[in-house]
Amino acid sequence: MTDRTQPDSVVVVGAGQGGYQTAASLREHGYEGSITLISAEDALPYERPPLSKAYLKGEADEAMLWLRPATYYVRQSIDLVSGTVTEIDPAARSVRLADGSAYGYGHLVLATGATPRTLDVPGKELRGVHTLRTAQDAVALQASLAGARRAVVVGAGFIGLEFAAVAREAGVEVTVVEALDRPLARVVSAPTAEHFTWLHRSNGTELLFGRGLKALHGDGRSNVTAVELADGSRLPADLVLIGVGVTPRTELATAAGLEVDGGIIVDAQLRTTDPHISAIGDCAAFPQVRSGNRRRLESVQNAVGHAQAVAGRLAGSPRAYDELPWFWSDQFATTVQIAGFNEGHETEVVLGSDPDAFSVLLFRGDDLQAVESVNRPADHLAARRLLTQGTDLTPAEAAAPGFSLRTYLRSLAERGTEAPVAL
């Protein structure tokens, strides 16, 4: 029996990480109404992280990316529809697809993700110039990589650096061009950024900071041959990856009259300004629990957490979304894991004397905001626990000789101020 307060049907636009999870979690919560999951991509819902890692290296095939096999959707009565939603009619509570078909909804979930930003420079349409978001993009990139000798990566963000690592491992000469003065500048602290500069340079990658792009040049057959920088210098290239961030896909929401400001605006329960429409994952700007500031986050954890919260609410268990953000990235043999969200730190405390395995604790005043762990997975788990429960750890305590996050957590448990920790 479906609860009286539950919508009788849920339509989800976008069958990526968040869209899939919404459908799966609805069924896990016992939701018995109809679920329609609409995908603009001609593929079963799949995970994106391997696209710049194992899949790109050829270590995983397409089926290994799938979040579930086709039989799952049949067994769970999840109607997987292939097509692009072109219009929402909020008054009629229906969506229309490019092929003219329409679906009515009791509740609509927008899980439309994001699309890679491009740079408006001459030559951006040349063959060999790529962005990376979809499995199709990864197949095209892999094909270019197989014949490449020199790759230029524009943007030293996570995707650019992950690709750079795979390309170096494949024996390709790689130059990374970044407009700011260090890699990962918007997402990690200076010590962690410094480590990644060292990691890539020591693996033979050239990193150029503070340099902008002017144009891409090609040969007579429209293949890219060189990247021209703003200072007029030219880098030869037969493959270019543009990794300069993403734009949230908000066009449907805007056209439907929902509030949009750098993402689809949602409240703490991930409801848009229309009570019959929610938005989740990369496309949603939601209030951070700790600061109240609205942010968009781009991570698997965020998409999954949002989806679970919305599914719970639609199945009758509403709650504010208050999960701790966390993220990971793999480059060469190095894994960085980030727990928490750094909204501007004042103090950095580095734990660990091994230059290849350390954690950086980021404090604002005495408030621990986030912890970045490089090859220290146990620190990451301890940090997640600590940040989730809340902590009065100060920078001075963390900087004391021999301080360890795990020991600190255990001592809290022994004092009865924390639940026992299994690390």
Question: What one-character-per-residue DSSP string does 194-216 give?
Answer: HHHHHHHHHTT-EEEES--EEEE
Chain centroid to Cα 388, Å, comes to: 20
311 binds ligand FAD, rule: CB under 6 A: no
85 or 371: whose CB is closer to ligand FAD? 85
- Judged by CB under 6 A, which stretch of 172-180, 222-230, 295-303, 373-381 contacts ligand FAD? 295-303
Q: Smallest distance from the beta carbon of 341 to ligand FAD, in angstroms?
A: 13
178 or 298: whose CB is closer to ligand FAD? 298
Q: Name which of residues 108 to 147 contact ligand FAD (CB under 6 A).
A: 111-113, 132-133
296 binds ligand FAD, rule: CB under 6 A: no
Q: Smallest distance from the beta carbon of 296 to ligand FAD, in angstroms?
A: 10
- Judged by CB under 6 A, which stretch of 14-22, 60-68, 235-243, 395-403 contacts ligand FAD? 14-22
Query: What stretches of 46-189 show up as alpha helix (H) in DSSP?
Result: 62-65, 70-75, 135-146, 158-169
What's the CA gap between 112 and 396, in Å, rounded? 44
Q: Smallest distance from the beta carbon of 159 to ligand FAD, in angstroms?
A: 5
36 or 347: whose CB is closer to ligand FAD? 36
- Judged by CB under 6 A, which stretch of 39-47, 58-66, 191-199, 337-345 contacts ligand FAD? 39-47
Q: Smallest distance from the beta carbon of 83 to ligand FAD, in angstroms?
A: 7
* Among residues 6, 36, 52, 369, the one that binds ligand FAD under rule CB under 6 A: 52
* Tokens 């040049």, residue located: 217
Yes or no: say if 257 and 269 are a contact pair by the CB < 8 Å rule.
no
Chain centroid to Cα 344, Å, comes to: 20
Tokens of 189: 């602290």
What length does the chain have?
Answer: 423
Q: What is the DSSP letter of 271?
A: B
- Judged by CB under 6 A, which stretch of 48-56, 347-355, 378-386, 410-418 contacts ligand FAD? 48-56
Chain centroid to Cα 195, Å, comes to: 21
Burial 92-110 (b: 16+ CB within 10 A, else e): ebebbbeeeeebebbbbbb
Chain centroid to Cα 121, Å, comes to: 26
Q: What is the DSSP letter of 320?
A: -
48 binds ligand FAD, rule: CB under 6 A: yes
Pattern 63-102, binding to ligand FAD, x per CB under 6 A? ---------------------xx-----------------
Q: Name which of residues 240 to 259 contact ligand FAD (CB under 6 A).
A: 249, 252
Q: Smallest distance from the beta carbon of 400 to ligand FAD, in angstroms?
A: 32
Q: Smallest distance from the beta carbon of 222 to ligand FAD, in angstroms?
A: 25
Residue (of 311, 374, 332) closest to 170 by Cα position? 332
Amino acid present at 233: S
* Among residues 159, 336, 339, 351, the one that binds ligand FAD under rule CB under 6 A: 159
What's the CA gap between 45 and 16, in Å, rounded? 6
What's the CA gap between 240 and 247, in Å, rounded? 20
Contacts of 294 (CB under 8 A, 6+ apart): 261, 263, 265, 285, 286, 287, 288
330 or 367: whose CB is closer to ligand FAD? 330
112 or 192: whose CB is closer to ligand FAD? 112
Contacts of 120 (CB under 8 A, 6+ apart): none
Question: What one-character-per-residue DSSP string does 14-56 give?
Answer: --SHHHHHHHHHHHHTT--SEEEEEESSSS--B-SGGGGTTTT
380 binds ligand FAD, rule: CB under 6 A: no
* Tokens 């994001």, residue located: 114
Residue (of 312, 313, 317, 323) closest to 290 by Cα position? 323
What's the CA gap between 141 and 128, in Å, rounded? 8
- Judged by CB under 6 A, which stretch of 63-71, 193-201, 267-275, 324-332 contacts ligand FAD? 324-332
Pattern 195-234, binding to ligand FAD, x per CB under 6 A? ----------------------------------------
As beta bridge partners, residue 239 has 151
* Among residues 11, 303, 387, 398, the one that binds ligand FAD under rule CB under 6 A: 303
- Judged by CB under 6 A, which stretch of 29-37, 46-54, 198-206, 344-352 contacts ligand FAD? 46-54
- Which residue ranges make up the site for ligand FAD (CB under 6 A)? 13-19, 38-41, 48-49, 51-52, 84-85, 111-113, 132-133, 159, 249, 252, 281-282, 298-301, 303, 327-329
